[in-house]
Amino acid sequence: MVKSKAGIKKGCISQIASDSGWGKSMIGYSTLKSAFDSGMDCFIIDTENSVNYDVLTSLGVNMDEVGVFQTNRIPELKQILAKLSKGLTREEARNVFVLFDSWGPIVEEQVMEKAEEASSAVNMSSSKFKNELANVLLACNFTVLVLNHVYASLQQYGEAFAIPGGKRLFFNSDAIMLASSAAKDKDKDGNILGKIITASVKKGRAAKEFVKTKYLILHNGGISPYYGLLDEAMACGEVFKPKPGYYSRTNFDVDKSTGEATKMWREEDLYCAEFWIPIYKTETFRHYVEAKFAFEDQELITSTQNVMDMINGKVDVPSSADLDAIVDDEE
């Protein structure tokens, strides 16, 4: 059986960057859920005062066992990290998961002092203090997921978005995923069901850089565990189109003697466990996905069982109201 690789690497800093309302918090909460289920000590550093306890609880996270720190002052953040790492061996530190939400609002004490003095002087040392914080974060050896905003790039060529936070955070991050575009997902009547996000690997030491994928955030069901798989399944031959508008699974919906499709699925009916679990278990599909996206065998905090639990629907999804609250918080 091929072991599917998924998740973020333990003991390293990973980063997700996107515009507001594109699902950073939901991805962060889902990753924290996986870390929590695997027995890691979990903490949230909330610089925006925006932790949504209802969503985390609905995902199955016991918030009584998760430490939450709410501050955006760099000196206080350094002290928090120092206290969390004190006395831990490197291996023990790797089993500490920190969700840093988010990097953008952090400030050093001098900025606050100048604000109190109504000073108009430009502070040129901001990046220096942020770089120091990024180095402290790396030195802790925690498993860290940093959520970051993006801003429009002023460069004439290249990517439309730039990631703030200082060069040191970029250098210290093991993996960076950049969400670069969003489209509305609608039903046949034109009702908006959610957002389709296109993301690419901006930097990766365990995943191939520049590869792109799509994920769907449903307003009434969180992140779809199936969206984006259809293109991959067709590319590796596990799914084909017997006729326009319909799909069949090569190894499960075809008469071996005639080669004819015995069952056909409409596209709107594809995104369910019944269709995808048999495909996910095939070595052809999993070999293809791993060859396309990964190139290292690393210890990750999201195991194959976590992925299967998600596909089997064992993880509760948040309510529509909870998801709307997350979008409201990000916007």
Residue 162: both structure tokens together: 């730039």
Give the tens place of pLDDT for each residue, 210-245. 888 888 887 766 778 888 889 999 999 999 999 999
- Residue 175: closest CA among 4, 8, 32, 5: 8
Give the tens place of pLDDT for each residue, 134-171. 999 999 999 999 999 887 666 656 566 677 777 899 99
The residues pairing with 240 across neighbouring beta strands, listed in sequence order, are 248
Q: How far apart, in whole angstroms, are the C-alpha atoms of residue 147 and residue 145?
A: 7
What's the average model confidence in pLDDT over 296-306?
51
Beta-sheet pairing, 96-101 with 143-149: parallel
Q: How far apart, in whole angstroms, are the C-alpha atoms of residue 33 and residue 40?
A: 10
Q: Is residue 275 part of a domain?
A: no
Classify 54 as helix, strand or coil. helix
What's the average model confidence in pLDDT over 92-121?
78
Three-state SS for 276-318 is HHHHHCCHHHHHHHHHHHECCCCCEEECHHHHHHHHCCCCCCC
Give the tens place of pLDDT for each residue, 109-141. 666 565 555 555 545 556 788 999 999 999 999
| pLDDT score at 304 | 41
Q: Count CA atoms closer than 13 A to 239's CA, side-chain side.
A: 21
* Tokens 């220096």 found at: 128
- Number of structural domains in the chain: 1
Q: How far apart, in whole angstroms, are the C-alpha atoms of residue 302 and residue 206?
A: 14
Q: How many helices (H) and strands (E) does the chain have?
A: 12, 16
| pLDDT score at 314 | 46
Q: Is residue 324 part of a domain?
A: yes
CATH number of the domain within which 106 lies: 3.40.50.300
Q: How far apart, in whole angstroms, are the C-alpha atoms of residue 216 and residue 194?
A: 7
Strands, E assignment, 19-139: 41-46, 66-70, 96-101
Q: Is residue 180 part of a domain?
A: yes
Q: Is residue 116 part of a domain?
A: yes
Residue 329 pLDDT class (50, 70, 90 cuts): very low
Give the tens place of pLDDT for each residue, 172-184. 999 888 887 778 8
Cβ of 191: how many Cβ atoms within 10 Å? 10
User: How many residues comprise the chain?
Assistant: 331
- Residue 98: closest CA among 39, 143, 130: 143
- Residue 201: closest CA among 180, 224, 182, 184: 180
| pLDDT score at 293 | 76
Q: Is residue 55 part of a domain?
A: yes
Q: Is residue 157 part of a domain?
A: yes
Residue 43: both structure tokens together: 């903490």
What's the average model confidence in pLDDT over 1-21?
74
Q: Is residue 247 part of a domain?
A: no
- C-alpha distances (whole Å) from 123 to each of 110, 111, 126 are 8, 7, 6
Provide the angle, in degrees to the nearest 10, between the axes of the packed helices 320-330 and 24-37.
120
Mean pLDDT of the chain: 81
| pLDDT score at 45 | 97
Share of the chain above pLDDT 70, in %: 76
Residue-number span of the structural domain to which 196 is assigned: 6-224+316-330
Q: Is residue 294 part of a domain?
A: no
The pTM of this model reads 0.77
**Cβ proximity of 218 and 192 under 8 Å:** no
Distance from first CA to last CA of the chain, Å, rounded? 43
| pLDDT score at 316 | 43
Give the tens place of pLDDT for each residue, 240-275. 999 999 999 999 999 989 989 999 999 889 888 899
| pLDDT score at 322 | 46
